[in-house]
Amino acid sequence: MSPSAWVENRPTAGRRALDWREVWRYRELVAFLALRDIRVRYKQAAFGMLWALAQPLAGLLVFTLVFDRLAGVPSDGVPYPLFVLVGMTFWTLFSGGLSAATASLVANSSLVTKVYFPRVAAPLASVLPRLVDLSVTLVLLALLLAVTGTLPGPQVLLLPLVVLWAVGLAFGVGLTLATVQVRFRDAHHALTLMVQLWLYASPVAYPSSLVPAEWRWAYALNPVAGLLDSARWVLLDTRPPAAPVLVSLAVTGLLLVLGVRVFAAGERRFADVI
């Protein structure tokens, strides 16, 4: 073939699947995009990484005033500020990762339209920087646990699995919404409303034990419910999650599989419609 010959890459026909081996080969690109996001977020920021504490602490103050002081909501036998801080920490990890993954393709539209790379690298790289925010909040939480004498049990070793759960949930739902965002740019308005409703439907400021026993299985269809119950058990040594947590895990798995399938089906059209 002569050097001047054209090579046309045609999109494959039929159903597609994401090539995770290819994603691994592009792991340096994923790391680069993640580091770029971190630098952009904190470059010339007056308070630097302390901004990672803004949302959890704001939620802590508001929920403590409204739900603890005024409404007297129980907190599973631990100090309410610690109870809600753990909830806000993992809610922020999930919601922040979800928002970033949803906007990732549009935010990297110049790359999507001009350079080849596995498109799933963009939402994956957008979720990973939230782990930096998480580490900052966990340092604060560790200090508060030490001050109050509320020490976790040996199940604290399961913390990486709970973090992986939150990241996987954000990534799975984010893949679906990122695919929708490419075609419908106003999807972020629906996302804002969905996140607000999801927050109050989740046991962030109240324990899931307030839900009547006959509704616990249905309530566990909200995967964040099982996630937060597990996080509090791991970090605060509250009551171990009951059997409905398996429903939350199953729903997380289904959302992750659905997100991968939806993303793979729409991937070939991203460069044309973005």
- Which helix or strand (DSSP H or E) is residue 121 part of? helix 121-127
8: left (phi over 0), alpha (psi -120 to 50) or beta: beta
Please report the pLDDT score of residue 6 as a whole number.
52
What are the backbone dihedrals phi and psi of residue 6, each rounded to the nearest 5 degrees, phi first? -90, 145
226: its two tokens: 């099982």
In a domain, 110, yes or no: yes
Q: What are 151's two structure tokens?
A: 């020490």
In a domain, 7, yes or no: no
Distance (Å, rounded) from C-alpha 240 to C-alpha 154?
Answer: 12
Overall number of domains in the chain: 1
DSSP calls for 222-237:
SHHHHHHHHHHHHHH-
How far lies 147's CA from each of 83, 84, 87, 139, 143, in Å?
15, 16, 19, 13, 6
Residue 8 domain-assigned? no
- The pTM for the full model equals 0.87
Residue at token pair 């007297």:
72
- Quote the CA–CA distance of 227 and 78 in Å, as a whole number: 18
265 is a domain residue: yes
Predicted pLDDT at 7: 43
Quick check: is 55 in a domain?
yes
Phi-psi map region of 215: left, alpha, beta (phi>0 left; psi -120 to 50 alpha):
alpha
Written as tens digits, the pLDDT of the chain (274 aa) is: 445 555 444 555 545 677 788 888 988 988 988 988 888 777 655 555 666 677 788 888 888 888 877 777 888 888 888 999 999 999 999 999 999 999 888 888 888 788 788 889 999 999 998 998 899 889 889 988 888 888 888 999 999 999 999 999 999 999 999 998 888 877 777 888 899 999 999 999 899 988 898 899 999 999 999 999 999 999 998 889 888 999 999 999 999 999 999 998 887 777 667 6
* 205 assigned to some structural domain: yes
Range of the domain at 147: 33-273
Residue 15 lies in a domain: no
Q: Is residue 40 part of a domain?
A: yes
